Structure 1
Amino acid sequence: MFSRITAEGAIWADGTPEAVDALVLATGYRLAFPYLTGSGALDPDGRPLHRGGIATAVPRLGFAGMEFQRSFSSKTLRGVGRDAGYVLGRLSPRR
């Protein structure tokens, strides 16, 4: 797991930086992103700032699996795949 993100990519726990084109976080059942604190990706309560799973304040950052992310089923196995596909399509460098 990475320890923080930067404008260029991610910093791994051992301090090694790695450039990344996009970062998608599969949130699971709890919204907890301590590694995004101070990045501008979260509101004051620690919730992601996003529109449809695409971060509104951090380029190339996406989320998947959040309740009502794009639909009623977003937080379920039935809906997360559609949302993940949407996010990946929006973050794809081919776009």
Structure 2
Amino acid sequence: MFTRLTDNRGTWADGTTERLDALILATGSRPHRPYLAGLDGALDPAGLPRHRGGASPAYPGLAFVGLEWQRSLSSNTLRGVGRDAARAAPRLAAHLARNCPLPS
């Protein structure tokens, strides 16, 4: 697990850093997001994700799924998380395509 995140880098416990194109985290049934605390504007003062339909307004490459009432009553259930993920994935893919193009 990274000990620190910046705009496009993760820092490991030994201090080495790594460039990140994407980071997907599954925190389980109890939200625990201290790893986002260093990203100014990613969380509100209560530690909840700032988002619009799952998309972070502060970081175009950051999206959330599985949040309570993210888009619907079922957003934080196995039944609803897939719909929210299907909506987030194309936005993240477009962000990566614009910012991390594959070599030709």
1 or 2 for the larger relative contact order (CA 8 Å, sep ≥6)? 1
Q: What is the aligned partner in structure 1 of residue 74 from structure 2?
A: 73
Does structure 1 retain, via aligned residues, the 8 Å contact 2:65–2:85? Answer: yes
Alpha-carbon deviation of 1:27? 4.5
TM-score, normalization: structure 1? 0.83
Alpha-carbon deviation of 1:66? 0.5
Number of aligned residues: 95
1:74–1:67: structure 2 CA closer, same or farther, 3 Å change rule?
same
2:20 equivalent to 1:17: no
2:94 equivalent to 1:94: no
Q: What is the aligned partner in structure 1 of residue 85 from structure 2?
A: 84
- Structure holding more strand per residue: 1
1:28–1:52: structure 2 CA closer, same or farther, 3 Å change rule?
farther
Identity percentage of aligned residues: 58
Note the residue ranges of structure 2 that are not aligned, 5 or more in a row.
99-104
- Structure holding more helix per residue: 2
1:86–1:80: structure 2 CA closer, same or farther, 3 Å change rule?
same
TM-score, normalization: structure 2? 0.77
1:17–1:11: structure 2 CA closer, same or farther, 3 Å change rule?
same
